[in-house]
Amino acid sequence: MKRLVYLLPLVLFMGLAGYFLVALRPNHDVHELPSVMIDKPAPAFDLAGLGDPKPLALEALKGHPFVINFFASWCVPCRLEHPLLMRLSEQNHIPLYGIAYKDKPADSARLLANFGDPYRQVGIDQDGRVGLNFGVYGVPETYVIDSKGIIQKRFVGPLTAEAVDKELLPLLKKLGQS
Amino acid sequence: MITELGHFALILALFVALIQSIVPMIGAARRHVGWMAVGRSCALTGFALTALAMLSLMHAYVTSDFTVINVIENSHTDKPLLYKITGVWGNHEGSMLLWVFMLSLCAAAVAMFSDNLPPALRARVLAVQGMIAVGFLLFILLTSNPFLRTFPPAPDGNGLNPVLQDPGLAFHPPFLYLGYVGFSVAFAFAVAALIEGRVDAAWARWVRPWTLASWCALTIGIAMGSWWAYYTLGWGGWWFWDPVENASFMPWLVGTALIHSSIVVEKRDTLKSWTILLAIITFSLSLVGTFLVRSGVLTSVHAFATDPERGTFILLLLVAAIGGSLTLYAVRAPALKGGGLFAPISREGSLVLNNVLLSCGCATVFLGTLYPLFLDAMGGPKLSVGFPFFNRTFAPMMVPMIIAVGIGPMLAWKRGDLLGALQRLWVAYIATALVLLIAYYVTYGGPVLAVFGLGLAAWLGAAVLTEFADRVRLFRVPFGDSIRRAIHLPRSAYGMTFAHLGLAVSVAGFAASAYDKEAIEILKPGGTIAIAGYELTLEGVTRIPGPNYVADDAAIRVTRNGELVKVMHPERRFFPLQKQTTSETSIRTNFLTDLYVALGESDSEGNWTVRVYWKPLVPWIWIGCVIMAFGGVVSLSDRRWRVGAAARSPRRRGAEPLPAAGE
Amino acid sequence: MRRFVLAALFLLTAVAAHAVEPSERLADPALEARARVISSQLRCLVCQNESIDESGADLAHDIRMFVRERLTAGDTNAQAVQALVNRYGSFVLLKPPVEPATYVLWYGPPLLLGIGLVGTLVWLKRRQTTPAEAEPLSADEARRLDGLMRGTDV
């Protein structure tokens, strides 16, 4: 019995080491904050369109599943995912909408003019309030929303080809069928 | 060429460490004098080699050798020389090299200053240190090599983060690492003692100076980091309970407990297995801290490039070092027999209480730091554990400790007279009551907890002074006798008095931060801000070029009752290379209060945001830390620990037969 | 090592904006004071254990403004905080909520202290009653110890 007390530190440490091992597991980003908005209705928005007199409003988008991508011209990782967004819109023809988060409209427009415009429509969220309502804590972030306006999935950080092929596209397909 | 030399020296150091970890260990088991002696030469050689590696990396930085990837990533030709040198440890690879360099420095110090140690113990201690060195050298060479080259050379480097280009910060890591790594000596002593199966007063006496020295370095290191945060962040915060700070605070807490429990081992020949455990845990927490900071498992936004491979490697090191030593502990510690009995109310009893409270405090910090990680690993929700948690859990534990620190030293060994001690502390009650009343009156309507904190500090300070007066029998014997007694008090007694006094000073600083005042205004030149009786006038802002930045330097005239106090110059520095702006605050201190001014942004019409804070007693936080560390140094200078002191003993232990292991 | 964290923090806030800008302040001092209290309890999501009141990050600014708008619109403190928890989860709270998932966190420390104190007392009491199990020092050990103490003590 008395010897067990001396074993306690070792047992506690092994438990700790086990936790560390779990924390180190690959493909687990501890910095990623899971969204609490999943399975909840997307917050309503009605944003002025970029280079477009038509506003970007949630109500108008409902009826089909769609993807919203928060981006900004000042955001470096956004450039990283840009080619992928172009592919998504040009090859996969997904309903991709952009929200220019805390960005000057002229800068956003210049970005899209230089690198191509993957979005069906872009809304201007200059004060970042729509982003805040979505729980955006950094750009880029990408949301998949179903036809009823319920948030199904969030991607934090630049999209990767893997995430697009294995998660985003299958999810959209599933949402489109149901 | 020199870089390759350093690289080669580091590889060689690995092999030397390998020999150091095996040969003396076998030598000690077989009582082979020659094999045991290998430890010493290996430790010295290892130190020379890592020093060479360190110097050659510095050379690469100083000469801006842009064929070395590490230099490209972290240096720049325009950088001032000081930051070229300190930039060596401003990144993951270089700081790991500094870590290993400190480790070999400690091993060399043990090898040099251990003539009074039994050769077998010395051999085992050095062997354990060799093992740690092997682990970390492998880590550097396999995953974080700072000597890697690239061709063709880069035209110039990426520069060092401007925030790191600060003299206060430049010397923060060496102190911190010396503290962390210094605890490896106590760890090695503990493991060696477990192998030998004996812990006695002499062992405690050998370990104590190393623990004290590391503790002093860690105290200074933590204080420097906190002070840097204070004057850099632009609003005067000095502690955030973030995981990286906690990683340095936890070894400090347990190290403090270790210093105290080893006194009990030395004086009373008891608490042995507990002290051994503390020695293991202190260094283990340093290692865990390293893991947390560099593996990326914590939700912390730090600039160290984290990579899972490194994390896995450090985890393996942790399992080997901590798991191995705790296994040894589980097997061997039950055989360690404690001797001296003592009543709960006694000096030993108070030191045990200190240990319980400090250990629980450390466990609380540990839980607060790692709980979000645990919860995440279990698939639970993401949480933040910030200052409100620590204020509610850690702080209450420290209150009884601070009260006890005042009483403990008044108690006698074995069986103390609590009532007598409390009676002798009457001066402290009066002082505490006075401070409480004054603080309550002066800050009427302010935070009550702060008044309580100030009272606590007053209690501790007064109790420490009372204890000292009691020791020299002040006013009870002729004054001259008291002076004579004071002169003949051992240095370790002075060390304790200073360290405890330093704690009192720091506590006052913590408590008084509740009285901070702030004034944030947008000023045109000529505009004024009033705060705490001072009037600050923005006279103007001028643009001044710096070595690798451009500064907007504000001249702010501070007056009090119409009289000029000082013209303060807060700056905003723009570093074009990194496109970053840093804020250089200006602080005017009279050691009682700080007036803290930071320059904010400007608009196109020449308006500047100026932030002014008035912070009473805030300098005491760091003054207290310095006094604490000074107490440690004073205690360290006690003749009893002095290097080779025991060699004056007519009988040399080394010549005596060694007890068999595990008896 | 903290330096690296704080350094990175600055990387994220390269604009070096400061906490609480004067332009953000509400005209009503009572409302503004409430906003400051709330802000100091909310975590800046992209920083290191800093509250949004202290942080210069852009997101912190947005959340500060959000809180002030909610308060101006008549929210109670709790409602304003809840609105943020609804968006970001309890991660935004510097003080973790007391709920089953955090029982260990909140009740662990006092429990541990209790166990530590009681355990120590029991251990001390038991030692008092059982005769000393320590063997006396062997002659050799006593001699060594004696030599050490005498040769070096003051």
In sequence order, what DSSP letters do the residues of chain C get, joined into one string?
-HHHHHHHHHHHTTT---SS-GGG--SSHHHHHHHHHHHHTBB-TTSSS-BTTT---HHHHHHHHHHHHHHHTT--HHHHHHHHHHHH-GGGBSS---SGGGHHHHHHHHHHHHHHHHHHHHHHHHHHHSPP-SPPPPHHHHHHHHHHHHHH--
Distant-in-sequence, close-in-space partners of A15: CB < 8 Å, separation ≥ 6:
none
Strand A66-71 relative to strand A96-101: parallel, antiparallel, unpaired?
parallel
Residue A172 confidence (pLDDT) above 80: yes
Residue C16 confidence (pLDDT) above 60: no
Token pair in block for residue B325 = 């030593």
Quick check: B77 contacting A, CB < 8 Å? no
pLDDT tens for residues B82-115?
888 888 888 888 989 999 999 999 999 999 988 8
Q: Please indicate, yes or no, whether residues C117 and C75 belong to a single structural domain of this protein.
A: no
pLDDT tens for residues A51-103?
878 889 988 888 889 999 999 988 888 888 899 999 988 888 889 999 999 88
pLDDT tens for residues C75-98?
999 999 999 999 888 888 989 999
Quick check: A138 contacting C, CB < 8 Å? yes
Q: Please indicate, yes or no, whether residues C23 and C85 belong to a single structural domain of this protein.
A: yes
Residue with structure tokens 């427009």?
Answer: A109
Q: Please indicate, yes or no, whether residues C30 and C85 belong to a single structural domain of this protein.
A: yes
pLDDT tens for residues C24-80?
788 888 888 899 889 888 988 877 677 888 877 788 888 998 999 999 998 999 999
Nearest Cα neighbor of B591 from B477, B512, B520, B514 is B512
B524: exposed, middle or buried (Cβ count in 10 Å: 0-12, 13-18, 19+) = exposed
CA dihedral sign of residues B384, B228, C17, A125? negative
**B394 HSE (CA, 13 A, CB side):** 23
Q: Please indicate, yes or no, whether residues C119 and C82 belong to a single structural domain of this protein.
A: no
Q: Please indicate, yes or no, whether residues C78 and C7 belong to a single structural domain of this protein.
A: yes
DSSP symbol at B537: E
CA C107 to chain B, closest CA, distance in angstroms equals: 9
Among C92, C122, C137, the domain-final residue is C92
Residue B493 confidence (pLDDT) above 60: yes
pLDDT tens for residues B309-366?
788 888 899 999 999 999 999 999 888 877 778 888 888 889 999 999 999 999 999 9
Q: Please indicate, yes or no, whether residues C105 and C85 belong to a single structural domain of this protein.
A: no
Res B341: pLDDT: 80
pLDDT band at B306 (very low <50, low <70, confident <90, very high): low
**Least CA distance to A26: which residue of chain B?**
B308
Res B217: pLDDT: 95
Q: Please indicate, yes or no, whether residues C14 and C66 belong to a single structural domain of this protein.
A: yes
CA A149 to chain C, closest CA, distance in angstroms equals: 16
CA A60 to chain B, closest CA, distance in angstroms equals: 34
Q: Please indicate, yes or no, whether residues C24 and C46 belong to a single structural domain of this protein.
A: yes
Q: Please indicate, yes or no, whether residues C108 and C87 belong to a single structural domain of this protein.
A: no
Select from A16, A22, A30 the Cβ nearest to the Cβ of B299. A30
Res A178: pLDDT: 67
Q: How distant is the alpha carbon of residue B117 from its chain centre?
A: 27
pLDDT band at B644 (very low <50, low <70, confident <90, very high): very low
CA C89 to chain A, closest CA, distance in angstroms equals: 6
Asked if C62 contacts C17 with a C-beta cutoff of 8 angstroms, the reply is no
Q: Which residues of B touch A20 (CB under 8 A)?
A: 291, 295, 297, 315, 318
The mean-pLDDT minimum among B81-90, B124-133, C137-146 falls in: C137-146
Tell me the Cα Rg of chain A: 21
Q: Which residues of C touch B353 (CB under 8 A)?
A: 120
Q: Which of B322, B336, B362, B375 to mutate to test the interface with A (most CBs of A within 10 A)?
A: B322
pLDDT tens for residues B203-260?
888 899 999 999 999 999 999 989 988 888 777 888 888 888 899 999 999 999 999 9
Quick check: B296 contacting A, CB < 8 Å? yes
Q: Which residues of A touch B334 (CB under 8 A)?
A: 2-3, 6
Res B489: pLDDT: 87
Q: Please indicate, yes or no, whether residues C122 and C83 belong to a single structural domain of this protein.
A: no
Q: Please indicate, yes or no, whether residues C73 and C114 belong to a single structural domain of this protein.
A: no
Among C92, C112, C128, the domain-final residue is C92
Q: Which residues of C touch B598 (CB under 8 A)?
A: 18
Token pair in block for residue B537 = 């006038």
Res B641: pLDDT: 59
pLDDT tens for residues A132-145?
999 888 888 999 99
**Least CA distance to C12: which residue of chain A?**
A138
pLDDT tens for residues B538-549?
999 999 998 888
Residue B270 confidence (pLDDT) above 90: no
Q: Which of B74, B92, B158, B163 to mutate to test the interface with C (most CBs of C within 10 A)?
A: B163
What's the whole-number average pLDDT of chain A? Answer: 86
Does the predicted interface ipTM exceed a cut of 0.95? no
pLDDT band at B456 (very low <50, low <70, confident <90, very high): very high
CATH number at residue C68: 1.10.8.640
Give the integer Cα–Cα distance in Å for B456 and B436: 9
The mean-pLDDT minimum among A118-127, B52-61, C69-78, C122-131 falls in: C122-131
Res C47: pLDDT: 72
Among C92, C121, C144, the domain-final residue is C92
Number of domains in chain C: 2
Q: Please indicate, yes or no, whether residues C88 and C108 belong to a single structural domain of this protein.
A: no
Residue B536 confidence (pLDDT) above 90: yes
Residue C111 confidence (pLDDT) above 80: yes
Res B294: pLDDT: 78
Res C27: pLDDT: 82
Domains and CATH numbers, chain A: 35-177 (3.40.30.10)
Helix axes B33-62 and B92-112, enclosed angle (nearest 10): 140
Domain carrying residue C133? 100-152
